Amino acid sequence: MSIKHNVIIAVAAIALSSIGCSEEPRKDNEATKLAPTPEPVFTSTLATTKPGPVVVDPPEPVVVQKEPATPEIFPELSVESIDGVTIQRFLTASAVMKREPVHPRSNFVPSDEKVYAFVEVSNASKSAKRLLVHFIGPEGKVSGGIQLEIPAAVPRWRTWAYTRHFDVPGLWRVEIRNAEGELLGALPFEVEAEL
């Protein structure tokens, strides 16, 4: 397995093992019994800065910090709330049933019908908000541009977007931005080549 594949597996394992729920109790139904609810993983799509040399005062020798073998692709982004909108859950899945994600996962193949980006948000502001969802593939291929409308003053709103255009194998990410273009969250997923 490649280092890239190990990084993706580690990110997916952390995301899927961090099971949590919102403050409101959720009613169990068939869909929620099928899949666990991981806490959102917020990531940034901004380029990370490369670590520079670290100089230690003499008489100790000068130590140069080497660049890591695999740069951090998706550094964590801590977002409390932007303009009253807070993401409570954010994950990718192969389906949504009864307003809940079914079989959340981060690995897909081109023959899968769709990749869903499921998001649960709250909107504390007194006005409705619009979120934009983009699926961004290897070499910057963009699919989506889906608009999600979030009503005013809702403590919990579940919605989703999906794409059928993920035919290029490699590392993808789904981004959620507000109408002003501010990043609320990004989540990596991988499209594997079919055998």
CATH class assigned to 3-191:
mainly beta
Q: Round to whole Å and give the CA distance between 177 and 171.
A: 20
Judge whether residue 109 has pLDDT over 50.
Answer: yes
Judge whether residue 156 has pLDDT over 90.
Answer: yes
Neighbour-count burial of 98, counting CB atoms closer than 10 A to its CB (0-12 exposed, 13-18 middle, 19+ buried): exposed
Ordered by start, the domain boundaries in the chain are 3-191
Span of 60-69, 81-90, 146-155, 171-180 with lowest mean pLDDT: 60-69
How long a stretch of residues is the chain?
195
Asked if omega into 53 is within 30° of 0 (cis), the reply is no
Q: Which amino acid is at 186?
A: A
pLDDT tens digits for range 58-108: 444 444 444 444 333 434 444 568 889 999 999 999 999 999 999 899 999
Mean per-residue pLDDT, 106-131: 93
